[in-house]
Structure 1
Amino acid sequence: MSSQADQLRMRISDLQTEIDLQRKLLRKLEDDKILAQRQLNAVLDPVARLPLEISSEIFLQSLDAPFPEPGALHISMLLLSICSAWTDIALATPALWVASHITFPCALGLKKLLPIRFKRAHNRSLSVSLSGVPFDQDVLSVIWKHGQQLQHFEMRKGDDGAARGGIWRLWEGCSPGPLPSLQTLAIRGWNSEDYIFSFRQISELLHMSPNLTECILCDLEIVDDAEAAKADIVLPKLRRLIFGEPGDLPFNNVVFNCLSLPGLEVLSTSLPDKEAWDDLLSFLKRSSPPLRELTVKFDGLGISNLPQYLCLVPDLRRLEVWWPKCHVMEGLFAMLAESPSLVPNLDTLVIHDPEFLSGSFWTALSRTLAARRTQLHIFRLEVSDPLSASEMPAPSHIDAFRELAVGGTRVHIKAYFGLWEHAFY
């Protein structure tokens, strides 16, 4: 009986050995099949048959620039998993790896994967967008190590629901170093008591970015810092400074005091009080910028002194005003009509949501447009809801607008909501 059992054990062992051998052979056959299938895919794949320059450009069309949308970090990774030919193309295209959107809290392994991604970008300029809180300090450290390559940088608060309180220590433990290549800086969406920036944090970022060309600070709660405000930051290449979203309602700011921007061409800001007006005046005198576009939100404060502000920006071509009182606009119209040397290059005037409009508003506007018919060619009035019959221009005003249209002046009234609009040209 013992002998029979031993024979069966040997038989089972031999069968297992044969099974293992056949499994290895099967795995090899499966691997050979996969390889052959990939080779066939490469032969038949139209992308693989294209020159690398063209196939790379096709891949690049799948990305957003300069700031990718959430999930864009994974698009280039997805291209690695299609076939070997696509993997080769993706790895041979550094531009695929330059833009990264990172959402916090992030995966624990991201701090190890991010250096690999940046390495694949070679020496290309990098675009990084961060959203959510809290920021992972290890991930920030990786980003700052590549600060020399950073060209576009955005921070956006996500919907985390976590209460923080006090001043948020953005760079705690890993302050950024010099950012010589940074051109675009955007910080958005922290307007709450839970996340408060110190003025010093903003000024440090600006100070480390000497070649910045565009800065967007939107919906931020910034605590003034008397010591940091004494800093003198000169950014000769900054062309666009926007407090708020481009094309939308401007927000307050507290950073004028420390800035000199001799190349500024576009400014969007809010002027809620006399101190803000004084800061703007000091800034314009200190910087003497070639300002071409100015967007402001203000009430009647400072309107009597407006000429001294406009005299400092003689190159202004576009003026956009949000939520003004009617008498403020009538005063501005009178200044423009009576002083042709005031902003002589003004070509476009846009008014957003003024208070109740009266006949005197339309009369002052028509006089101003007539006085400046050779310079001021576009007037736009944008309101939330359609104007009532009493707020609409009278027939005499409409006739004046249509007469001006013959000479090239365009008057356009529209509502944000609905399809209501009137164009007189």
Structure 2
Amino acid sequence: MSIEELQAHIEQLSAEITLQKDVLRQLERSKCAAQRQLNALRDPISQLPLEISSEIFLQCLPHGPRDPMAGKAPQLLMNICSGWTSIALSNPALWDKIDLDFPGTQVLRLWAERAGIRPLSIVLRGALDEPVAGVLAQYATHIRHLELYGMQYLHVLNSNLSVGSLCFLRALKVGPFVEGQSASLADVMALLRFAPNLVECTIDISIRNRSFPVQDLVLPSLEFLDGAVLQHLTLPSLNTLFATSGPISNQSLLLLFQRCSPPLQILALGYQNEADFPTLETGLRLVPSLT
């Protein structure tokens, strides 16, 4: 054969190989579909009333938003057969706990849509960019539990929210960020303003510009606080305070207790200035509920 003939023959063989690969892929897809149909016919769960099968699926879910399987279990249930997929998609309660190492908005939006009107628990890790903030803002009134890790751009989220956006948020945790990253006091306070009905709050991040003037804020329902944001807060329901991760002066504690006399029972402090212990003692006398 000539060079030209060999080249033409190789091209023909390549085309036939590509065609056979396409045929093989199609056969694999057909086999997978047939296997799913067979699984559905053999599966007793698919024959149960939807109320019962849905409850069985709910019992398969991990307990608590911090469980590493919380963001995987529903998808695993959908991988069995078409019957299980239908059951999973018809049950919004399977999708209201979202736990993502965040690559983009598609999965976040998909899970939130599948959850319908259910209260959402969302745990996100990664870059808090404009598209992610947009999705969070879209479903803000559905969010009851929100944890943000490594998302240092709080101002991006704040710019997408409006007054009352997070009015149903009960638990918030921010941080820790990547080492060396921080958020401004103004951004932290702005986020708290969007969530006036918080019950639990953890701010585990480095805060800069603490001396920057910000407006004081009352959080009437807050019972648990872990973080070093005290000097601008009034917390009349505060039950537990952990102030171990950042600089909190005894004077800040005294002023907090003077402002609202909270029913504090648990208090954990980090390093304190020994020379200022009289101020701490004065403050503690204002919270006789402390145990």
TM-score, normalized by length of structure 2?
A: 0.78
Measure how far apart 1:256 and its partner are: 1.0
Structure 1 partner of 2:199: 213
SS at match of 1:210: coil
The structure in which a higher percent of residues are helix is 2
- Deviation track 1:162-220 (CA, whole Å, cap 9, x = no partner) reads xxxxxx54333853332011111111222732x111001110111100111000122x2
Structure 1 partner of 2:9: none
8 Å CA contact 2:78–2:88 kept in 1: the answer is yes
The structure-2 alpha-carbon separation of the partners of 1:66 and 1:204, relative to structure 1 and needing over 3 Å to count, comes to: farther
Distance 1:306 1:261 in 2: 18
Does 1 or 2 have the higher relative contact order (CA < 8 Å, sep 6+)?
2
Measure how far apart 1:144 and its partner are: 1.3
How many equivalent residue pairs?
A: 261
The correspondence for 1:116, drawn from 104, 110, 113, is 110
Superposed, 1:151-230 pairs within 5 Å as 151-157=144-150, 168-172=152-156, 174-177=159-162, 178-190=165-177, 192-193=179-180, 195-218=181-204, 220-229=205-214
Distance 1:99 1:279 in 2: 37
Two-structure CA RMSD over aligned residues (Å): 2.9
Structure 2 partner of 1:291: 264
Superposed, 1:140-159 pairs within 5 Å as 140-157=133-150
Moved over 6 A (4+): none
Does structure 1 residue 256 correspond to structure 2 residue 216? no
Superposed, 1:12-91 pairs within 5 Å as 38=36, 41-69=39-67, 72-91=70-89
The structure-2 alpha-carbon separation of the partners of 1:191 and 1:291, relative to structure 1 and needing over 3 Å to count, comes to: farther
Distance 2:268 2:191 in 1: 24
Superposed, 1:344-383 pairs within 5 Å as none
Distance 2:72 2:150 in 1: 20
Partner letter of residue 232 of structure 1? D
Partner letter of residue 184 of structure 1? A
Identity %: 34
- Deviation track 1:209-242 (CA, whole Å, cap 9, x = no partner) reads 0111000122x2101344443x121111111001
Which consecutive residues of structure 2, in runs of 5 or more, have no partner in the other structure? 1-22
SS at match of 2:249: helix
The correspondence for 1:125, drawn from 105, 119, 122, is 119
8 Å CA contact 1:262–1:289 kept in 2: the answer is yes
Measure how far apart 1:118 and its partner are: 1.2
Structure 1 partner of 2:241: 267
The correspondence for 1:95, drawn from 93, 96, 107, is 93
Does structure 1 residue 279 correspond to structure 2 residue 252? yes
Distance 1:214 1:131 in 2: 20
- Deviation track 1:356-415 (CA, whole Å, cap 9, x = no partner) reads xxxxxxxxxxxxxxxxxxxxxxxxxxxxxxxxxxxxxxxxxxxxxxxxxxxxxxxxxxxx
The structure-2 alpha-carbon separation of the partners of 1:46 and 1:262, relative to structure 1 and needing over 3 Å to count, comes to: same
Which consecutive residues of structure 1, in runs of 5 or more, have no partner in the other structure? 1-22, 159-167, 244-252, 318-425
Looking at CA atoms only, which structure, 1 or 2, has the larger radius of gyration?
1
8 Å CA contact 1:291–1:316 kept in 2: the answer is yes
SS at match of 1:256: coil
SS at match of 1:120: helix
SS at match of 1:155: strand
The structure-2 alpha-carbon separation of the partners of 1:301 and 1:102, relative to structure 1 and needing over 3 Å to count, comes to: farther
